[in-house]
Amino acid sequence: MSIGQIFLILIPIFFVILLGYLAGHFKKFDKQTSKGLNTLVTKFALPAHLFLGITTTPRKTLIDEWPFLITLILGIVGFYLILLIVMKYIYKYSLTPSSMFALNSTQPTFAFMGIPVLGSLFGLTAVAVPIAITGIVVNAILDPLATILGTVGKRNSQKKEREKDSLVKITVHSILHGLSEPLACVPLIGVILTLCGFQSPKLLQGMLDQIGSITSGAALFAVGVTIGIGKITFSKEAFGIAGLKVAVQPIIMFGIALLIGLSSDEVTKAVLLVAFPGSAVAAMIALRFESLENETASAFVISAILSLLTLPLVISWLM
């Protein structure tokens, strides 16, 4: 695929992001209304779209996706753990900022850019399952793990027995919270139903498509709004997070995908799913822990700007 063709695919996508940016920059949206827009996408439109895509996928096709799941776990959760160890034991960060740094360097904004970018390259029906698998890995494994470690790092010294009970509660609560997120539980329910032989009837498809069809434009606009209302801090941590996210992680994912033996199309999907900018959700988790808040929020904006350069390069490299 030529660079010209790639830009023809990406220009409409970044145009909608630019519209969202202008809306945020000129205060047409604030943090509260932006949060509402994000909620519409992540809790309603995208889950509906993914459920529809999964439950119209043949059972055998879904079963054949297990190597893709292993690839994403290694490329996302594995990368998180490596960065966590590096930040804690080499750069001597404490546990909570190490977890927040690693999380924001690892979690992609797949929920907002996956459908428009991958859909333009492969067709909307071909990307629902890979994006749904990413949602399960991120929301049911990565975010709970980062939350657990972040909470452990924040705890004060207590009696050992009490700490043990507390850690168990933290772990259970974090996993249940992750699974309660629509981007985790709805695709997971869709996967279970499909494996049991369920296929969405036409009526249900029409119902879900009413809300799911707005995903692409609304998601891109929401990314732009988030960037437009944010403030950038040009720190080494912010640039480090952004660089790891859009440059280093895609290369590592490429190597893992080749080792697992994915097809060329699956390799491209896996790499692009982590080549997207960092996630605003991950930045919000850092804000919750009051750890690297400015750095992670700035990294989200910087990685989005860098992706204007890196995404065309990654696509031209893979296709």
Phi then psi for 57, rounded to 5 degrees?
-95, 135
pLDDT tens digit sequence for 209-256? 999 888 778 877 887 887 788 777 788 999 999 999 999 999 999 999
pLDDT one-digit tens code per residue, 196-208: 999 999 999 999 9
Spell out the residues 6+ positions from residue 184 whose beta carbon is closer than 8 angstroms to its own. 135, 136, 138, 139, 140, 178
Please tell me which residue, 37 or 255, carries the higher pLDDT value.
255
Collapsed DSSP state (helix, strand, coil) of residue 262: coil
Total H helices, total E strands in the chain: 19, 0
Percent of the chain with pLDDT over 70: 94
pLDDT band for 161, please (50, 70, 90 cuts). Answer: very low
Whether 277 contacts 109, CB under 8 Å: yes
Domains and CATH numbers, the chain: 3-318 (1.20.1530.20)
Query: For residue 292, with 0-12 CB atoms within 10 Å meaning exposed, 13-18 middle and 19 or more buried, which class applies?
Result: buried
Give the three-state DSSP class for 278.
strand
Model pLDDT, residue 1: 57
d(CA 217, CA 227): 16
Distance of CA 318 to the CA centre of its chain: 20
Q: Per DSSP, what are the bridge partners of residue 108?
A: 278
pTM of the model: 0.78
Tokens coding 52? 């529809």
In the predicted structure, residue 53 carries a pLDDT above the cut 80:
yes
Q: CB–CB of 260/78 below 8 Å? A: no
Select the highest-mean-pLDDT range: 124-128, 149-153, 177-181, 313-317. 313-317
pLDDT band, residue 158 (cuts 50/70/90): very low
Of 187, 176, 293, 225, residue with least CA distance to 38: 225
**Residue 66 pLDDT level (bands cut at 50, 70, 90):** very high
Which segment of 1-5, 17-21, 139-143 scores lowest on mean pLDDT? Answer: 1-5
Would you say residue 157 has pLDDT above 50?
A: no
Residue 275 above 70 pLDDT? yes
Rounded CA-CA distance 209/68 in Å is: 26
**Six token digits for residue 302:** 């910087």
Greatest Cα-to-Cα distance within the chain, rounded to the nearest angstrom: 63
pLDDT of residue 39: 83
pLDDT at 160: 47
Confidence class for position 314, pLDDT limits 50, 70, 90:
very high
Mean pLDDT score, 67-90: 96
Q: Are 37 and 29 in contact (CB under 8 A)?
A: yes
Sequence-separated (6 or more) residues with CB below 8 Å from residue 53: 124, 125, 127, 128, 129, 131, 132
Tokens 């879904």 map to which residue? 62
Mean pLDDT estimate for the chain:
85
Q: Is residue 159's pLDDT more than 50?
A: no
User: In this model, does residue 84 exceed pLDDT 70?
Assistant: yes
Residue type, 256: I
